[in-house]
């Protein structure tokens, strides 16, 4: 359920993230007005899958991420400061889950921060692809294939084409599509 797509546009110094509007439960689908992609504090662009509740907490609840040190690289910041802040936020709002092993589990989302897109997995690992694009959700593989073959399009058109491709082939993805951008 869902397709979230993000691109780093190094020519225009922007991050662009788009998402679909599907709310899926079993074989039922609802086109939702609440968005899956948003700008958080003019610092992060976030697009989520997994749970609307998780996304609502990320979008509407305050969480204080400790500032990045001038000596700290961006990946280290995401691992050492961003993720612990998210884990604390989920715990405060009684959303994070525990596995049988006592491990904390979350959901999957992508984060545009500075000039990269990071993929946060359900075990809170932070992924950083060699590509300047990322995707998550049930339409992920369709979107990644589209992004790989559409380098001749503008970044925003690539995001839209990837979402359209995912909607064409995945029953868990549907329009309307929402796109957010942020300069870096």
pLDDT along the chain (184 residues), means of 10: 96 98 93 97 96 96 94 97 96 79 83 98 97 98 98 97 98 97 97
pLDDT at 105: 83
Q: Is 174 helix (H, G, I), strand (E, B) or coil?
A: coil
Query: CA 49 to CA 22: how far, in whole Å?
Result: 10
Name the token pair of 126. 């932070």
Calpha distance 41→30 (Å, rounded) = 28
Q: Quote the pTM value.
A: 0.94
**Cα separation of 123 and 69, whole Å?**
25
For residues 179 and 184, what is the distance between their CA atoms, to the nearest angstrom? 16
Q: What is the pLDDT of residue 173?
A: 97
Residue 164, in any domain of the structure = yes
95 within a domain of the structure (yes/no): no
17, part of any domain: yes
Report the CATH number that the domain containing residue 127 is assigned in CATH: 3.60.20.10
Q: What is the number of residues in the chain?
A: 184
Q: Nearest Cα to 5, choosing from 99, 142, 107?
A: 142
Euclidean distance between CA atoms 96 and 142, whole angstroms = 29
Residue 123 domain flag: yes
pLDDT of residue 96: 72
pLDDT at 99: 65
**Within a domain: 111:** yes
In the block, residue with structure tokens 């589990």 = 105
Task: Note whether residue 93 is domain-resident.
Answer: no
What confidence score (pLDDT) does residue 98 get? 64
In this prediction, residue 79 carries a pLDDT of 98
Residue 12 lies in a domain: yes
Q: Reading across the β-sheet that carries 14-19, which strands appear in turn? A: 133-136, 4-9, 14-19, 178-183
Which residue, chain included where needed, has tokens 């599907």? Answer: 22
For residue 141, the enclosing domain spans 4-51+106-183
Residues 6 or more apart from 37 whose CB is under 8 A from it? 4, 17, 18, 19, 45, 46, 47, 178, 179, 180
Q: Residue 163: inside a domain, yes or no?
A: yes
**Total structural domains within the chain:** 1
């Amino acid at each position: 359920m869902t397709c979230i797509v993000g691109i780093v546009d190094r020519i225009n110094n922007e991050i662009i993230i788009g998402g679909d509007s599907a709310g899926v439960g079993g074989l039922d689908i609802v086109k939702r007005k609440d968005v899956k992609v948003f700008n958080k504090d003019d610092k992060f662009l976030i697009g989520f899958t997994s749970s609307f509740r998780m996304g609502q907490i990320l979008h509407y609840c305050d969480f204080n991420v400790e500032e990045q040190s001038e000596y700290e690289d961006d990946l280290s910041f995401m691992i050492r400061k961003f993720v612990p802040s998210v884990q604390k936020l989920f715990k405060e709002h009684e959303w994070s889950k525990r596995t049988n092993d006592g491990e904390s589990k979350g959901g999957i989302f992508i984060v545009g921060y500075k000039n990269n897109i990071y993929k946060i997995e359900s075990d809170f690992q932070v992924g950083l692809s060699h590509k300047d694009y990322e995707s998550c959700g049930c339409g992920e593989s369709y979107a990644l294939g589209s992004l790989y073959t559409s380098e001749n399009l503008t970044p925003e058109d690539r995001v839209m084409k990837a979402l359209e491709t995912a909607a064409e082939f995945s029953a868990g993805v549907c329009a309307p599509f929402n796109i957010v951008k942020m300069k870096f």
